[in-house]
Chains A and B, each alone.
Chain A
């Protein structure tokens, strides 16, 4: 008797389970079908609204790189000279990225501290600072840069301000997530000896979150170098500006463009590698020591 009930129980459970699995599978298939349909429809729409069609273009994808490389190869002797010529512009691009990362990190830190519960100077204003970061993060750099170029004229400063604003928002969000896990004991200790808010933050919080902050800031530096090259392309100076000029000279002068492509590529790879190395040092190099302390 007990045996049959148990068997009926397991049968019911099994039937239930099979029904659930079936339903889940149906959902998955429907979701997948919707996704595939969206992709296909999206592709067709994009294709029809593009100036050149996909199937015409796909055969010509390598025409332009081949042309550029061919000309670079033909004028290989001039290439080292071009590389040296464009170094100042590259330095400017790097400076834009580095300065904006630095400024963005400073403001991001401030906003993150002001918008973390438990650390905020004015707890009532936390939503205001959060919204500020959201908006700063959402505006694409190119928009601020173009508006500032109109007012301030071309040059690196509009790009620097534009990237710094976006960096402030992006890093502020990441930093405030890091701040959530901060131990409040050092802060309380500092409070007991009468420290001001700035002292509590600089001496009590920053040493705890420093490695994480630096790691995120390095990641941002990689992104910002790319952004600063793009902004140069719309008139903000640096290697992107040189690239646009080199492109506009057209056929027969692509060896300059090739040199810039090479410089940009090498820089991005080098910075990626360097910052990747530093970040592993920061996160993995620290862990044993923190573990040992605990």
Chain B
């Protein structure tokens, strides 16, 4: 067998052609992708987005997620001074108590730190000694704020009008209106995460709490934490449980419903073409309708709650599992079934000992994969139907001020999904590897 010149030319031409197509692909695919993204850039008006984006909101969101503010508020008509966390009623100090940077008395002296001192009183007067600038004084009353500034031009961080003055410094913020004088001081962290202000354990460090626990107050401490009205740990725990419950019921329910149906759809178990065809189209239909539509339809019948979410996952995944399971059944090895038949087994025994051991590892591993991904779906579905952690996080986002809670819930969801991921991986290894190496 000799290679002639024409053969070599042919091979060369072939190689050249191959290189050309490869080169074309190498440049064309990224070029198409970039062109498409350019189209998206204009179709979605990404350029205009920056003008619409609200920097102020982004700033609030981010600073609120890792810090909190204490409000010291005076009602200028009654003279009542309240100290509270984020201005919440359930985070308000009793009238005779205050944190150590607020000194109550006929005059309330508020130390904002860095030598910034705000004084309420006498009367409705408020003074703010700002280091490096001077002392600001206001006498809010019926005819306006009546502010007096240190001599010179007003700096940019003072926003003044006749009825409202807002001073923002690095130490905090003071707003004065005719009826209200309010001071904000910012702190790092999430306040009252463990205990609310009315709890005796509020403000204690870990060692003190531990020593109280050792002295037999563990139950009280737990109750104080568990019934925390600001962070609602009990409700959050329930919500997390509901989310897992939705994923668990939905996934395994779907598995239970889909398994018998998959037999009807598998070529080697279902002799009737019409049955097979109907089952497959039914699976396709259920999958195609999509979780969103199922959620809406089921929410109409069952109302909001975890059951609706579980059923929505169940229905959608029945389609997916039906498809996967019937494919697994079509791939089973005939030999074990014949072996079992040769020992005189009846139909039920043939399935039990010939088929089930072959498909169970596939089924379990698919079920566990879906359990993990459905935990995330349950959060999303919960946000629509109103159940579980999905509901809590949408509620927190809608208030537009509980960003520390949103952050907390995001952390919880991430941890939950990761935990389910590890659990499903561990179970998969245990159940499937254990099943294979066993006798």
Does A187 touch B at the CB level, under 8 Å?
no
Does A153 touch B at the CB level, under 8 Å?
yes
| In-complex Cβ contact of B380 among A60, A230, A243, A264 (8 A) | A230
Cross-chain contact B288 with A229 (CB below 8 angstroms) = no
| In-complex Cβ contact of B305 among A51, A63, A233 (8 A) | A51
Cross-chain contact A233 with B439 (CB below 8 angstroms) = no
Cross-chain contact A102 with B293 (CB below 8 angstroms) = no
| In-complex Cβ contact of B290 among A51, A60, A229 (8 A) | A229
Q: A46-B306, A268-B290 are in contact. Are A153 and B36 (CB under 8 A)?
A: no
Does A140 touch B at the CB level, under 8 Å?
yes
Cross-chain contact B305 with A50 (CB below 8 angstroms) = yes
A 10-46 binary contact with B (CB < 8 Å = 1; else 0): 0000000100110010000000000100110011011
CA distance A147 to B398 in the complex (A): 9
Does B139 touch A at the CB level, under 8 Å?
no
CA distance A272 to B280 in the complex (A): 14
Q: A99-B37, A146-B394, A265-B289 are in contact. Are A247 and B296 (CB under 8 A)?
A: yes
Does B13 touch A at the CB level, under 8 Å?
no
Cross-chain contact B390 with A142 (CB below 8 angstroms) = yes
A51 to nearest B CB, angstroms? 3
Does A269 touch B at the CB level, under 8 Å?
yes
Cross-chain contact A268 with B298 (CB below 8 angstroms) = no
Cross-chain contact A138 with B376 (CB below 8 angstroms) = yes
Residues of chain A with a CB closer than 8 A to B307's CB: 43, 46-47, 49-50, 54
Q: A20-B439, A240-B292 are in contact. Are A64 and B297 (CB under 8 A)?
A: yes
Does B287 touch A at the CB level, under 8 Å?
yes
Does A117 touch B at the CB level, under 8 Å?
no
Residues of chain B with a CB closer than 8 A to A49's CB: 242, 305-307, 387
Does B33 touch A at the CB level, under 8 Å?
yes
| In-complex Cβ contact of B301 among A57, A98, A265, A272 (8 A) | A57
The winner among B252, B288, B413, B421 for most chain A CB atoms within 10 A is B288
Q: A46-B249, A46-B305 are in contact. Are A146 and B397 (CB under 8 A)?
A: yes
Cross-chain contact A61 with B383 (CB below 8 angstroms) = no
Cross-chain contact B58 with A233 (CB below 8 angstroms) = no
**A-B contact number at CB 8 A:** 178
Q: A60-B301, A63-B301, A269-B284 are in contact. Are A157 and B384 (CB under 8 A)?
A: no
A218 to nearest B CB, angstroms? 14
Cross-chain contact B288 with A265 (CB below 8 angstroms) = yes
| In-complex Cβ contact of A138 among B248, B394, B413 (8 A) | B413
B 24-55 binary contact with A (CB < 8 Å = 1; else 0): 00000000010011001001111001001110
| In-complex Cβ contact of A226 among B291, B390, B421 (8 A) | B291
Residues of chain A with a CB closer than 8 A to B144's CB: none
Does B379 touch A at the CB level, under 8 Å?
yes
CA distance A73 to B305 in the complex (A): 31
Cross-chain contact A140 with B376 (CB below 8 angstroms) = yes
Cross-chain contact B57 with A150 (CB below 8 angstroms) = yes
Residues of chain A with a CB closer than 8 A to B287's CB: 268, 272
Cross-chain contact B439 with A17 (CB below 8 angstroms) = yes
Residues of chain B with a CB closer than 8 A to A102's CB: 33, 36-37
Does A160 touch B at the CB level, under 8 Å?
yes
Does A211 touch B at the CB level, under 8 Å?
no
Kindly identify, within residues 109 to 147 of chain B, every residue whose CB is under 8 Å from any CB belonging to chain A.
Answer: none
Q: A152-B53, A156-B44 are in contact. Are A226 and B290 (CB under 8 A)?
A: yes
SS of B interface (majority): helix
Q: A57-B302, A63-B300, A134-B418 are in contact. Are A233 and B290 (CB under 8 A)?
A: no
| In-complex Cβ contact of A39 among B33, B252, B394 (8 A) | B252
Does A58 touch B at the CB level, under 8 Å?
yes
Q: Which size class do A's interface residues fall under?
A: 35 or more
Does B246 touch A at the CB level, under 8 Å?
yes
Kindly identify, within residues 362 to 406 of chain B, every residue whose CB is under 8 Å from any CB belonging to chain A.
Answer: 376, 379-380, 383-384, 387, 390, 393-394, 397, 400, 406
Does B236 touch A at the CB level, under 8 Å?
no
Q: A45-B245, A46-B307 are in contact. Are A147 and B384 (CB under 8 A)?
A: no
Residues of chain B with a CB closer than 8 A to A21's CB: 439
Does B172 touch A at the CB level, under 8 Å?
no
Cross-chain contact A42 with B249 (CB below 8 angstroms) = yes
| In-complex Cβ contact of B297 among A61, A98, A240, A265 (8 A) | A61
CA distance A41 to B319 in the complex (A): 25
Does A291 touch B at the CB level, under 8 Å?
no
CA distance A61 to B246 in the complex (A): 19
CA distance A230 to B288 in the complex (A): 14
CA distance A155 to B345 in the complex (A): 63
Cross-chain contact A24 with B438 (CB below 8 angstroms) = yes
| In-complex Cβ contact of A157 among B44, B418, B421 (8 A) | B44
Cross-chain contact B54 with A151 (CB below 8 angstroms) = yes
Cross-chain contact B44 with A160 (CB below 8 angstroms) = yes
CA distance A46 to B387 in the complex (A): 10
The winner among A150, A153, A155, A272 for most chain B CB atoms within 10 A is A150
Does B103 touch A at the CB level, under 8 Å?
no
Give the residue name and chain of the A residue nearest to B431 (CB). Answer: A31
Cross-chain contact A143 with B413 (CB below 8 angstroms) = yes
Q: A157-B49, A247-B296, A269-B288 are in contact. Are A58 and B44 (CB under 8 A)?
A: no
Residues of chain A with a CB closer than 8 A to B54's CB: 151-153
Give the residue name and chain of the B residue nearest to A51 (CB). Answer: B303
The winner among A58, A106, A269 for most chain B CB atoms within 10 A is A269
**6 A–B contacts, CB within 8 A, in A order:** A50-B302, A52-B305, A99-B40, A138-B418, A226-B292, A243-B296
Which 10 A-B residue pairings sit nearest by Cβ, starting from the closest?
A: A51-B303, A50-B305, A52-B303, A50-B307, A57-B302, A138-B417, A64-B300, A46-B307, A57-B301, A269-B288
B residues touching A (Cβ–Cβ < 8 Å)? 33, 36-37, 40, 43-46, 49, 52-54, 57-58, 61, 242, 245-246, 248-249, 252-253, 284, 287-293, 296-298, 300-308, 310, 376, 379-380, 383-384, 387, 390, 393-394, 397, 400, 406, 409-410, 413-414, 417-418, 421, 438-439
A residues touching B (Cβ–Cβ < 8 Å)? 17, 20-21, 24, 35, 38-39, 42-43, 45-47, 49-54, 57-58, 60-61, 63-65, 92, 95, 98-99, 102-103, 106, 134-135, 137-143, 146-147, 150-153, 155-157, 160, 226, 229-230, 233-234, 240, 243, 247, 261, 264-265, 268-269, 272
Contacts A46-B310, A49-B307, A247-B296 aside, 16 further interface pairs with beta carbons under 8 A come to A20-B439, A35-B252, A39-B249, A45-B245, A49-B242, A50-B305, A53-B302, A138-B376, A138-B421, A142-B390, A152-B49, A152-B54, A153-B54, A229-B292, A234-B394, A243-B292
